[in-house]
């Protein structure tokens, strides 16, 4: 530890957590003097019973509700701009993001756009755009319905360019939600595949955050506890879907999102191009690449792998068993373990390697990753 340096350590917003807390949403909005919320969700969630019940409860409380659900599976700039126009044309005074990472990212990006009038990607954090985030955003509330990205407690949104599909990061501390309603009941009806894939996304966040080279010991501790919760619950949540396992997964998902302000790494850089090029579900892309990325990181970080293995129930000094555990976990969740199983072909490898090397996550990996390393990793995983 460099005791001569100074660090800014930030943690997220207020959270209401527990079964049934969603019924507090109408009273919360009214207490804030808000009457015209825009609910931002995706086309699938919009049709689900629990979402319709949320709309009904807000309407019965005397609130004027509009719903925006026009977005892609991997959100693009035009999704945000259409949402901005809808917010203005319908006279909204607040934004409630409901769903997984996609609608929560779109909700946050819409919130940014309301009072910030530069081109949306001028606010890209990777080019210093956070300095332009100077105005207040509309009152933002987030309601997670998956246990994966943890976007509900985040301060960034990943939005892609419409034409190139290049991902951009919109970031600022002021983009955090004012309140999170984290109700595990809303995750109970997720199908097994979505539960497994989003759960492996949450696990990847915790693992990569723990290994990331940035100094953030608070995040490292949170990441370890997040791993423990996931190891105790992900298989049950996928195959039995009891409330206890769902609650543990939802908490671990938020913990992963808090932890990865420390950074991510090689696995996310392997996964992002699959979403961009082949429209692969992000959690699935992480799941398949996770054992290979962790195997790449093992040498030189044996002590950290021992810690992770212990937290996930493998016993002391079991870091050398960790990669096999990840392969076995994917199989226990009925997830594929090879890229060829999710549509990747030999002809994709060169482009994937280019995109992975250009990705923004691997600079925080504990060891450097070259373009050739990415190519080898894709070939190993194929």
pLDDT tens, residue by residue, 183-232: 999 999 899 999 999 999 999 999 999 999 999 999 999 999 999 999 99
Residue 295 DSSP class? H
The pair of structure tokens assigned to 292 is 């290979």
Nearest to 272 by CA among 212, 346, 208: 208
Considering the chain, tell me which residue range(s) the CATH 3.40.50.1970 domain(s) occupy: 14-187
> Any idea which fold 192-381 has?
Dehydroquinate synthase-like, alpha domain (1.20.1090)
What is the rounded distance in angstroms from the CA atom of residue 49 to the CA atom of residue 10? Answer: 36
- For 37, the token pair is 């919320």
pTM recorded for the entire structure: 0.91
**3-class SS of residue 332:** helix
Pairing of strands 139-144, 156-160: unpaired
Q: Where are the alpha helices (DSSP H) in 64-180?
A: 77-89, 101-114
> Which two structure tokens, joined as six digits, stand for 254?
């938020």
DSSP state of 137: P
Asked whether the predicted pLDDT for residue 75 surpasses 70, the reply is yes
Query: Once rounded to an integer, what is the mean pLDDT over residues 249-265?
Result: 94
Q: Both tokens of residue 363? A: 């600079």
CA 313, distance to chain mean position in Å, is 25
The boundaries of every CATH 1.20.1090.10 domain in the chain are 192-381
DSSP string spanning 31-77? HTT---EEEE--HHHHTSHHHHHHHHHHHHTT---EEE----SS-BH
Which CATH fold would you assign to the domain 14-187?
Answer: Rossmann fold (3.40.50)
pLDDT band at 3 (very low <50, low <70, confident <90, very high): very low
pLDDT for residue 175 is more than 80: yes
- What is residue 214's DSSP assignment? S
pLDDT tens by residue, 6-27: 665 546 688 999 999 999 999 9
């Amino acid at each position: 530890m460099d005791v001569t340096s100074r660090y800014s350590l930030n943690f997220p917003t207020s959270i209401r957590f527990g079964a049934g807390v969603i019924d507090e949403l109408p009273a919360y909005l009214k207490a804030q003097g808000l009457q015209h919320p825009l609910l931002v969700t995706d086309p699938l969630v919009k049709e689900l019973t629990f979402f319709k019940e949320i709309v009904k409860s807000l309407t019965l409380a005397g609130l004027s509700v509009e719903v925006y659900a026009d977005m892609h599976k991997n959100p693009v700039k035009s999704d945000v701009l259409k949402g901005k126009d809808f917010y203005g044309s319908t006279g909204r005074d607040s934004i409630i993001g409901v769903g997984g990472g996609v609608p929560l990212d779109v909700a946050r990006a819409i919130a940014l756009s309301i009072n910030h009038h530069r081109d949306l990607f001028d606010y890209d954090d990777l080019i210093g755009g956070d300095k332009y985030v100077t105005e207040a955003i509309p009152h933002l509330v987030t309601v997670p319905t998956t246990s994966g990205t943890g976007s509900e407690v985040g301060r960034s949104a990943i939005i892609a360019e419409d034409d190139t599909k290049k991902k951009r990061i919109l970031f600022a501390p002021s983009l955090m939600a004012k309140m999170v309603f984290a109700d595990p009941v809303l995750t109970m009806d997720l199908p097994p595949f979505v539960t497994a894939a989003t759960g492996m996304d949450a696990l990847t966040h915790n693992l990569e955050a723990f290994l990331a080279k940035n100094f953030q010991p608070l995040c490292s501790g949170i990441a370890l506890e997040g791993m423990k919760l996931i190891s105790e619950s992900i298989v049950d949540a996928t195959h039995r879907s009891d409330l206890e396992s769902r609650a543990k997964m939802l908490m671990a998902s938020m913990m992963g999102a808090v932890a990865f302000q420390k950074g991510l790494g090689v696995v996310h850089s392997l996964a992002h191009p699959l979403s961009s090029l082949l429209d692969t579900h992000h959690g699935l892309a992480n799941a398949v690449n996770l054992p290979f990325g962790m195997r790449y990181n093992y040498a030189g970080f044996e002590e950290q792998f021992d810690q992770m293995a212990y937290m996930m129930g493998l016993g002391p000094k079991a870091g050398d068993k960790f990669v096999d555990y990840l392969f076995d976990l994917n199989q226990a969740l009925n997830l594929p373990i090879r890229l060829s199983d999710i549509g990747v072909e030999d002809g994709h490898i060169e482009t994937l390697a280019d995109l992975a090397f250009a990705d923004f996550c691997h600079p925080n990996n504990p060891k450097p990753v070259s373009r050739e390393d990415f190519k080898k990793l894709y070939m190993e995983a194929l």
